[in-house]
Structure 1
Amino acid sequence: MSTIDIIIFIVYLLGIVLFGISFYQKERTSDDYSTGSGTLPSWAIGLSIFATFVSSISFLALPGIAFLSNWNAFVFSLSIPVAIFMAIKFFIPLYRKVGSPSAYTFLEERFGPWAKNYVASFWLLTQVMRVAVILYLLALPMYVILDWDMRIIIIITGISVMIYSIFGGIKAVVWTDAIQAIILISGAVITLAVLMFSLPEGPAQYFEVAAAYDKFSLGSFGLSLTESTFWVVFIYGIFINLQNYGIDQNYIQRYMSARDEKEAISSAFGGGLLYIPVSLLFFMIGTGLFVYYNVYPDLLPAEYNEPGMSDSVFPYFIVSGLPVGMTGLLIASIFAAGMSTISTSLNSGATVILSDFYKRYTKRNVTEKESVRVLYIASAIICILGILISFYIIRVESALDIWWNLAGIFSGGMLGLFLLGYFSKKVTNIPAMIGVVLGLLVIIWMSLSPAYFTGNLEKFQNPLHSYLTIVIGTLVIFLTGFLLSLLIKKE
């Protein structure tokens, strides 16, 4: 990176922190910290929802997928409208009616404390790990490019986000997310333009070469459930996106920050649909990288063609293929994607700790001053834990894979429980609990059987594609709870 690129990046980082701090209020309520007292405009909330959805993981991973294979993973984005429609139709009116800043108050009202504690606890664990992973991924390109100490980068980034998240509250998070979304989109558009117009024959060559290698394929339209077909990815996307837009605290808190239900629906609609063309940009960038290095094969070092290196091709191009100044902007774009996700996790995690645990189990009235103090402390603890865990990830990368397997197992039961509580009004506590236990056992088997059932036990492996794990697990929880409630009622 040139000096100009480094200056651009540092100015961006300082500017975001100072802008976030500018929202500090000396006299603040917990409601203002968590939901902005319901005064934020829908367009800003929509950009914040979009920025939360696009983490630095997707900023680097989607081009890597398109570079390596085709656009089959883009089908995930095409499923978003279905999930958003369901969230708008069923969940947003529900949360606005409940009136709590926590998404999980509904579960306690529906099934009792166990349901809320289960979902809220594992959601918090997932957020801490999410912060750690993104801090690690943000530090990695700076380490590769500048040879800076990764721990120093992680600490500086984590503390920077923590400062403006705590001082500015949800207003700082939403408005900085809006700015970061614009930077992120700008960086992606510029990169694609540079790739296309760097080819000898211009954009026409981009489409010619990509079509010749079938890079635009959305996958097979067959009905196989063991392969990553169009339909398998589409169904998987509906369930994952419904889990995001329908029950994830990060999104529900945005809905509660809107002025009314109509604006909450507008923000969900706009923020969700914006991801579709932007993810298309990322896939076009990945395809552009394939075409670029197909036309100029000598510009890509041999090690980047080895298995497992596809995610590194985009960062390499950022450093070696972009003009001076653009590299700094793209690094800032990657940080924008990561920082918006981290700030959201800190604010939402602190809200869950206050609403679902501290206020619930403190046997006295909690004052506003004490509530705000708890929110500050909880945000700081989540960030510090994320920083410490990211240090561990640096040394033991395999721990990352293990955790995400476990996180997928436990988060898989959340959607089924929400759907059961909402659509089956007569399902009681015990059938719901049995459904969750059975669903989690199925999810654990589907997730771990390929690794542990080998040799003579291979016949006990999950025969379906791994994408269908959350689909089957959610359906098992819902159908078990529903059918058991019918049997109990009949008896």
Structure 2
Amino acid sequence: MNSSLRKFASFSFLFITSIVFFSCGEKSNVLTEENKTLSYEVLDKVMHEEEQWVKVHAAEYKLQVGLSEGVYETFLEQLSLFEDQSPYRIGIWRVLAKSAPTENERQLYIDKIIGVFKDTEATDRIHAAETLAKLGVPVSSLAKATTDEILQGEKGSLWVYTLWASMQGQEKTNNPMLDALILGIREEIPRLQAAYALQMEGNIPEDKWESLATKALDEPGTSIAKVYLLTAAYYWAGPEHQKSDSYKIIEDLILALQQSDNKGDRMALALAIAHKGDWSHQSILLGFLHNDNPLGTEINAETSAANADVMATAAFSLLQMEQTTHQLSAIDWVIVLIYMVGMMVIGYVFSKKNKNEKDFLLGGGKMNPIAVGLSLFATLLSSLSYLSYPGEMIKYGPVIFSGVLAFPLIYYIVGWFLIPRFMKLKVTSAYEILEINLGVSIRLLATFFFLSLRFLWMGTIIFITVNTAIISIFGFEDTTSNILWISIILIGVTIIYTTMGGLKAVVFTDVIQSCVLLGGALLTIVLISIYFGSATSWIPTQWLDHWGEYKWGIDARERLSIGNAILMTLIWYVASSGSDQMSIQRFLATENIKTARKTFAVSLITSFVAQFLLGLVGLAVLAYFLDNPQFLATNESVSTQADILFPKFILVGLPVGISGLVAAGILAAAMSSLSSGLSATSSVISEDLIKRFSRKSKPKKVDQLKRIRTLSLFVGIFTLALSLLISRVEGNLYDVVVKVVNLFVSPLFVLFFMALFIPFATARGVFLGGLVSIGIAIAVAFFKFMDIEVLFITPASLFSGIAAGIIFSYIDHKFLGNQETMQKRSKKIIDQRK
């Protein structure tokens, strides 16, 4: 390492260390533990102690912030007491429908509400229509005749709520409630209700916002509808509208509601602040929460209930803001920016050291085995693993991690059966071995398999890193254009330092990224341990219900079992290490068999540590969100949100600075793998395609280096385009990784296994075996072939491919007379080289 790199590494270490040890500030948008606890207590107290609709509001608030405990049971008691009381029964059914443990029970209460909606004699039809809208029930299809009849009638309260309910289940490109308001609803109460519905639904075209704002400002100050017209306009003002004078007037009028003597005004203000996520007005909500300025001049049942309603609304608003408005601080952004720039600096420094193609592709062939081992680990354990392993642990439990028990056997198989055979022939591309033993056709098939594998792998890395992590952590809006630009920046930075620095830059940055990746996982565990007060209190003492039943044996029709996990891990590591150019490239970058084994050992040991840490991260994050369910999205659980809980914790659970550090860790894992993929795929395209089929004379060494750099650029662009298609694959994060990334792992190794270990293997037999293997992989991944679980894709495709290759080769050799076998070709080539 030269002096400039030493200085850069020293600076990076000191900077990161200072962030970890001296960053003690809190994010500005954090609710103190005292006020958070008070918010919980207020919601629970109001739900249990207040009467009827105040109780309903508190229960719904609890459900919206993930505090479902006790809600269903409380309202079952209310049902037994007040089922026949109109209109309160509608509120009871609404809460029970929202909190029902099963879909059948939810539908039971929805049917009751629909029954009231259809009943022309019912005194609470208006409440039923409002509730159906809030529950998202598509009345246009479930109660079409009733809906059509009401909408053809007078524009009163029932008409407004029915129109709102009729919008459910429809494509919401516009909001007919806005047109109804602008065209004129005469009575104040229906105008209020229409404005409330508009506020809840949104979908206001930008060119119509000014009309809504004018309508709100022109509404008489004495009108009870004015507040809800103002809040509807306030809710849905776009960035451009927020610069207008109308918006500023509306905002001032809404903030003035904190002094209102009307509970509805104060509740509307609290919800407006929560919707905007504006922590600068936290003091208003805290004042409501603590009841600093109570409603009414004297304490009685009515004023007590009104104040309780406002307090519950403030509690909900504070918890919802904390749940939805966390974002990275300026310090976090600085850390991420320094990291991205640092990677390009490293690429530039190493670009000065590459004199020829061998330097660029193999680092000169004499690289440090420990550094190369860390690089191999960082390559195999990409951001896919960094994000999917904790999610898999959260959703399905620790069964998948029992696969590490296969590591000693993996080391023995790869180190003593595969590495010696690779090192025996000094080649640049691993697939030269296939041509030596089986011919050009098998080398080209392997090249196709490898390029397909790595392009899909890199595309998946970009897609998952951007969609699961970056969008969540960095707070970008989840739009196609944002996803595209973020993906371009991610792959762009990687292309720059990879195409400049070659394998030396890849390995050096991989070492840094390995440390950041492991450090981020370790920091998460430490901080959650501090939160719970010990390093073991967050570890489950029993098998959780949502993990399902665990099994020991091997069963292709079971998603997970101990035996399946060990077998899948064994096959994946052996197949990847024994056929993937990215692995073999690193073995060939060392001096001899001994150092190559050391490289692989370092990779396995680091992978074991990383998987162990990421498994613990999954358990720690699971415990954190079970203890803080308010951070989960509405009507979601730790199981349904398993894949995004780790990225979410980075925002809600880490202090300033460390959030940026762990976010950089995720970027590190992604760029580490992308850089390796760019280097390896460019190497294969150059060695196995361009050099073979190019009719031009052999280019100069300088031209070769320029060509390989250009290839890396085009590989990156193609990968970016491919990443946009990955979103169509169904399944949780781990399933997507297995379906897409592991599709070609076993088929590729089938070719190497036949070329290395089956003496009578023929090119035609192996070619057919490879096709059978990929066919089985596709059938299992996307068509549930023979009910084989998708996680069993690697064993199923490997065994079927080897069996088919052996059978076809035997027939080709023994019965069709093909004497061009692996054994004969290998002996002939070796003799020629002597």
Q: TM exceeds 0.5?
A: yes
- Counterpart of 1:455? none
1:202 counterpart SS class: coil
1:85 deviates by 2.0
The question of whether the paired residues in 2 share the 8 Å contact of 1:20 and 1:168 is answered with yes
The question of whether the paired residues in 2 share the 8 Å contact of 1:304 and 1:312 is answered with no
Structure 1 pair 300/119, CA: closer, same or farther in 2 (3 Å)?
A: same
Structure 1 pair 448/182, CA: closer, same or farther in 2 (3 Å)?
A: closer
2:639, 2:694 → 1: CA distance? Answer: 53
1:330 deviates by 0.6
Which of 536, 542, 546 is 1:211 aligned to?
A: 542
The question of whether the paired residues in 1 share the 8 Å contact of 2:382 and 2:672 is answered with yes
1:197 deviates by 1.5
Whether 1:420 aligns to 2:754 is yes
Which of 604, 609, 615 is 1:272 aligned to?
A: 604
Which of 448, 472, 478 is 2:796 aligned to?
A: 472
Alignment of structure 1 residues 204-353 onto 2, 5 Å: 204-207=536-539, 209-211=540-542, 213=544, 219-227=550-558, 228-305=560-637, 308-353=640-685
Indicate the percent of aligned positions where both proteins have the same amino acid: 24
2:508 counterpart SS class: helix
Structure 1 pair 26/75, CA: closer, same or farther in 2 (3 Å)?
A: closer
1:153 deviates by 1.9
AA aligned to 2:496 is I
AA aligned to 1:29 is N
- Counterpart of 1:101? 428
2:578 counterpart SS class: helix
1:322 counterpart SS class: coil
1:260 deviates by 2.3
Whether 1:184 aligns to 2:508 is no
Higher helix proportion (structure 1 or 2): 1
- Counterpart of 1:147? 476
1:69 deviates by 2.6
Whether 1:52 aligns to 2:379 is yes
AA aligned to 1:156 is I
- CA RMSD of superposed structures (Å): 2.7
Which one has the largest radius of gyration?
Answer: 2
Which of 413, 438, 458 is 1:86 aligned to?
A: 413
- Counterpart of 2:771? 437
2:741, 2:384 → 1: CA distance? Answer: 16
1:25 deviates by 2.4
1:270, 1:436 → 2: CA distance? Answer: 31
Q: Which moved more, 1:138-147 or 1:267-276?
A: 138-147
The question of whether the paired residues in 1 share the 8 Å contact of 2:585 and 2:680 is answered with yes
AA aligned to 2:705 is V
The question of whether the paired residues in 2 share the 8 Å contact of 1:226 and 1:465 is answered with yes
Deviations 1:293-351 (A, max 9, x none): 22333344445417642111111111011111110011001011100000000011110
2:507 counterpart SS class: helix
2:756, 2:599 → 1: CA distance? Answer: 22
Which of 719, 722, 740 is 1:389 aligned to?
A: 722
- Counterpart of 1:453? none
Structure 1 pair 214/138, CA: closer, same or farther in 2 (3 Å)?
A: same
Q: TM-score, normalised by structure 2?
A: 0.54
Q: Which moved more, 1:315-324 or 1:145-154?
A: 145-154
Q: Which moved more, 1:274-283 or 1:292-301?
A: 292-301
Alignment of structure 1 residues 361-372 onto 2, 5 Å: 361-363=693-695, 364-372=697-705
Which of 324, 327, 331 is 1:4 aligned to?
A: 331
AA aligned to 1:71 is P
Deviations 1:343-402 (A, max 9, x none): 0000111100111111122243343222212211110001111223334557x5669999
1:305 counterpart SS class: coil
Structure 1 pair 316/439, CA: closer, same or farther in 2 (3 Å)?
A: closer
2:390, 2:738 → 1: CA distance? Answer: 21
Structure 1 pair 293/405, CA: closer, same or farther in 2 (3 Å)?
A: closer
The question of whether the paired residues in 1 share the 8 Å contact of 2:394 and 2:622 is answered with yes
AA aligned to 1:211 is Q
Deviations 1:153-176 (A, max 9, x none): 222221111111011010000000
Q: Mind listing any 5+ residue stretches in structure 2 that lack a counterpart? A: 1-327, 816-834
1:118 deviates by 1.1
The question of whether the paired residues in 1 share the 8 Å contact of 2:420 and 2:593 is answered with yes
Q: Which moved more, 1:297-306 or 1:369-378?
A: 297-306
AA aligned to 1:471 is P
1:436 deviates by 2.6
AA aligned to 1:152 is W
AA aligned to 1:417 is L
2:660, 2:787 → 1: CA distance? Answer: 46
1:469 deviates by 3.3
1:121 deviates by 1.7
- Counterpart of 1:114? 441
The question of whether the paired residues in 2 share the 8 Å contact of 1:8 and 1:328 is answered with yes
Structure 1 pair 403/284, CA: closer, same or farther in 2 (3 Å)?
A: closer
Which of the pair has the greater relative contact order for Cα pairs under 8 Å at 6+ separation? 1
1:247 counterpart SS class: coil
1:130 deviates by 2.4
Structure 1 pair 409/182, CA: closer, same or farther in 2 (3 Å)?
A: closer
1:407 deviates by 6.1
The question of whether the paired residues in 2 share the 8 Å contact of 1:107 and 1:418 is answered with yes
AA aligned to 1:297 is P
The question of whether the paired residues in 1 share the 8 Å contact of 2:360 and 2:502 is answered with yes
- Counterpart of 1:456? none
